[in-house]
Amino acid sequence: MRESDRRRLEFAGSDVRERVARLLAELAGTHGEPAADGSVTIGLPLSQAEIAGATGASREAVAKALRVLRACGAVATSRQRITVLDRDALMRIPTQTAPSAQG
């Protein structure tokens, strides 16, 4: 319950892109499997619907947010697998003015 409340407060006022970026950065830190090239694969199988539920967004908005994150080189995705390619870029997402993925 506390985790849910903390996340709700943290996400208040953030757009979907920011919420997804924060969630992926957090999951990379807690469930990441580092590779020799510096990337980190999140060790949990995640669907877009699950990410949507965790961020309070629609699946469609999460799909748009992931497209933005892929385009800026922060992540790579495949079926239920997300690899953080550039954690620094991912951490900068909330402060960038990229196209928004509102949901």
- Quick one: pLDDT at residue 100? 45
pTM of the model: 0.79
Helices (H), the chain: 2-11, 16-31, 48-55, 59-71, 87-92
> Cα separation of 63 and 24, whole Å?
14
| 19-55: pLDDT as tens digits | 999 999 999 999 999 999 999 999 999 999 999 999 9
> Cα separation of 99 and 83, whole Å?
21
Task: Pick the range with the lowest mean pLDDT from 27-36, 41-50, 63-72, 92-101.
Answer: 92-101
HSE (side-chain half, CA atoms, 13 Å) at 35: 12
pLDDT at 10 over 80: no
Residue 89 confidence class, pLDDT cut points 50, 70, 90: confident
> Cα separation of 93 and 16, whole Å?
11
